[in-house]
Every structure is written in structure tokens, then in C-alpha cells.
Amino acid sequence: MEILALILFISILLLILYGYPVSFTLGGVSLIYLLLFVDSVYYPALPQRIMGTMSNYVLLAVPLFIFMGIMLEKSGLAESMLDTMGLLLGKVKGGLAVSVILVGALLAASTGIVGATVITMGLISLPTMLRRGYAPTLATGTIAASGTLGQIIPPSIVLVLLGSVLNVSVGQLFRAAFIPGLLLVLCYIAYVLIIAQIKPEMAPPVPDAELKAFWQGGVFKKILIAFVMPLLLIVLVLGSIFFGIASPTEAAAVGAFGATLLTFTQNKLSWIICKKVMEETTHLTCMVFLILLGATTFSFVFRQLGGDHFLVELITQSNLSATAFLLLVMLIIFVAGFFIDFIEIIFIIVPVVAPIFIAYDINLIWIGVLIAMNLQTSFLTPPFGFSLFYLKGVAPPEVTTNHLYKGIFPFVLIQIVFLLTIIFFPGVIGL
């Protein structure tokens, strides 16, 4: 029976890599194994498990955060933030790249969706950076790295889903991930400023004529609308969670309502915008929850076949230390991130390894932050990094794949160093 559980796990992974839909593969293959190999007395427990998952109050935050992010994207606030920040830092060498990182972090804190952030930043900032003389490698690397910050910076969809799968507090995950996310942003900025000083031709400052035009009349109103108001919304959402005023789900509702108000103040709120936002929100939410239904079925069948107990005994009897097992899991997740989406990794791999982490008495909040950081790194790593595909899809023809690979390499090194730092020095996240 235990061997059947492992065969189930491997067969699902192979079918997904072959190209079959994730949600139907997870649920369909698991149901076949349930009917063939599990005693019928356990069948009634599956609908109860599914309903228990679907009625999880925390998961209601997922569509609300998605709505918040897409509304801010459709409102044009992302473009306003980038233009305003770029001109505020215009005199600094590399100032435009720094503004891309900061806006990427703000979008990450509002969307939590990597694909949406990378595509938005690519469409808005890449042509501007190239027009102002930025090296294609630095421009693409900065945009791709900034766009993946949504994996680690709260309120991240990744952290919400990890909290559900690991059965830990999403609020505690948000608090634990905040400092690493902030430090990662500062490291990105430091790298860009150092490169701009060493090789100024790669990141020239904004021309004086553009800066002069920006500072003439109404500059404070521009800053208020484009930067202060979205930042205030993000602070309200995260602050209400961190200080225990609201649950993540309640804070997500505040964020969704606040994003709608901000769009209204920009005179961008219309029936067409609302329809697009609701359609995209429904599409992404259905995708997540269909995979969640399949994953719930898979985890139920896997446990009924004794797969979790088998793996725990296998690891403990192999005399593998907790650190060695952790590094092994991180490597598996890192490689899996080349081929499959983060949602699939969270719902397929994490439930399998979570009981082993519990057996080793490892802090699951720490594990959640490590997995989120690891997934973020795998999104950037050639040759299959999803962020690189997203950016290449919207990049001008003169930007080659080679530019993307060369540009992202320093940022990947920074993230790997960060991941190892959190593994060996958990005090960085206050644990």
C-alpha cells in the first residue's frame, strides 16, 4: 500500500510534466487509486474533507487579494507610480532601476501575482529604460527580479496558500516574511547602485529637461496620487494584519474596497474596467480552487494508502538529519520550480513533506518562509524560469533571451545567498 502511494505521487508528477491539466490530473488519478485500492468504508470521508477545505475562511482572502491587485493594475496606478518614482530619483545614477525595484515591491505587496507584476512592469518600464540608455541586461534583470517579489512580500498569495496547507497562521507567516522581503529589496537596490557607479553607461541618470518639466507645477499632487495613496492602502492592509486588528481575510476585503476607491479617484472606474477585473479575478480564483480540490483529494488518498507514515519512517530510519532533509526538500522544490507552477508545488509537494517536518519538530512558520523564498528563486533561474518567459513575451524584439539570462544571474545569486542565510540563521525572521 505504501508503495502504491509513492507510485500515485510519481504518476501525477509525470502526467503534469507531460502536459495534462493539473487540477483534473490531481483529482482524477487520485480518485482512480481510491476506487481501486482503498476500502469503501473511507469513501464518505472525502466529501467532508473537500467541504472542510472549501469552507476555510482564510482561503477567502485569495480572490480578494487577486481582485485588489488586478484593480490597481487596470487603474493605471502602476504606470503612475513608476513614472513619478523614476523622476523623483532621476538625478541618481541607476535611479530609474531603483524606482523599478521599489514599484515592483509595492506591486508585489498589492498583487501577490508574479505573472501580472512581471508583465505589467515589462510593458511599462522596459521600453522607458531602454530609451534612456539602460543596458538591456540590467533592465531585464531588474524587472524580472522585482516582479517576483510577490512570492515573499506580504500579502502574498503564496503565503496564504502555504498557511492553509501547513495549517499555520497566515498572519504569522506574513510577519515572518516581511523582514526578509524588505532586506531582499534593499540588496537589489544596493546592487543596482553599485553597478551604476562602477559602469555608469549601464544606468544613466534622467535628462535634466525631463526632470525640470516634472518639478514644474503640481508635483506634490502627482506624488500624492501616484505614490502616497497606494502606499497608504498597502500599509492599512498589512498594518491591520500585523497588529491583530483584522484577519488576513478581513484585511483583503479592505484592500479590495480601497483599490476600487483609488481607481475611482483616478477617474478610471468604469463598467468595462470592473468587468475585466471581475473576469480575471474569477478566472484566477477558479484555477486556484480547482487545483485545491484536486490536491485535497490527492492528499486524502495518499494518506489512506499510508504514504505519509511510510515517508516519515523512511526518513527517520535513514538517519538523515533535520538539516540534511531540509536541504533535500529545498533542492527538490527549487528544481520543480523550473517545470511546474508554484500553486502545483504547494499543493503536491508540501503536503507530502509537511508530516516529516512535524516529526523533526521543525517550526512550520520558518518552513513556509523558506519555501516562498525558494519558489521565488526558481521563478528566475534559467532555462525554465517562468518570470523570464513572461518578460520575454512582452519585451521588444531587440531584447534577446541571452540578455535575460545574463541580467538575471546576479539577482539569482543574491536570492540564493538570502535563502541559505535564512536556513542557517533563522533569527533573521525573528524565530
d(C-alpha 405, C-alpha 350), whole Å: 29
Query: Which residue has cell 472525502?
Result: 46
d(C-alpha 399, C-alpha 341), whole Å: 25
d(C-alpha 26, C-alpha 46), whole Å: 14
Tell me, what's the pLDDT at 188?
92
Tell me, what's the pLDDT at 410?
92
Tell me, what's the pLDDT at 384?
61
Return the closest-CA partner of residue 204 out of 135, 136, 126, 141: 135
Q: Is residue 44 part of a domain?
A: no
345: Cβ contacts below 8 Å, ≥ 6 apart: 333, 336, 337, 375
Q: Is residue 55 part of a domain?
A: yes
Tell me, what's the pLDDT at 191?
93
From its phi and psi, is residue 167 left (phi > 0), alpha (psi between -120 and 50) or beta? left
d(C-alpha 308, C-alpha 314), whole Å: 10
Tell me, what's the pLDDT at 148?
83
What parts of the chain have a pLDDT lower than 50?
A: none
Tell me, what's the pLDDT at 63?
84
* Upstream peptide bond of 127 is cis (omega within 30 degrees of 0): no
Give the domain extent around 175: 2-8+21-31+49-429
% of the chain surpassing 90 pLDDT: 7
Q: Is residue 42 part of a domain?
A: no
Q: Is residue 324 part of a domain?
A: yes
Inter-CA distances, 51 with 24, 44, 289, 407, 414, Å: 18, 12, 12, 46, 42
Predicted confidence (pLDDT) per residue in 7-42, tens digit: 888 888 788 777 777 778 888 898 999 999 888 888
Return the closest-CA partner of residue 30 out of 310, 301, 307: 301
Predicted confidence (pLDDT) per residue in 97-156, tens digit: 888 888 878 776 665 566 666 776 777 778 878 887 889 999 899 988 888 887 788 877
Task: Please say whether the dihedral angle defined by the alpha carbons of residues 83, 84, 90 and 92, taken in this order, is positive or negative.
Answer: negative
Q: Is residue 416 part of a domain?
A: yes
From its phi and psi, is residue 94 left (phi > 0), alpha (psi between -120 and 50) or beta? left
Query: Coil, strand, or helix at residue 174?
Result: helix
Tell me, what's the pLDDT at 289?
81
Q: Is residue 85 part of a domain?
A: yes
**What's the alpha-carbon Rg for the chain, to the nearest Å?**
22
Torsion (CA) 178, 252, 373, 103 in degrees, nearest 10: -70
Q: Which three cell numbers, joined as nine digits, stand for 302? A: 495518499
Q: Is residue 15 part of a domain?
A: no
% of the chain surpassing 70 pLDDT: 89
Q: How many Cα neighbours within 13 Å face the side chain of 184?
A: 37
Q: Is residue 41 part of a domain?
A: no
Whether 377 and 416 have beta carbons less than 8 Å apart is answered as yes
Q: What count of residues does the chain have? A: 431
Tell me, what's the pLDDT at 256?
86
268: Cβ contacts below 8 Å, ≥ 6 apart: 74, 75, 76
Q: How many domains does the chain have?
A: 1
Inter-CA distances, 73 with 70, 88, 312, 348, Å: 5, 21, 44, 30
d(C-alpha 8, C-alpha 45), whole Å: 20
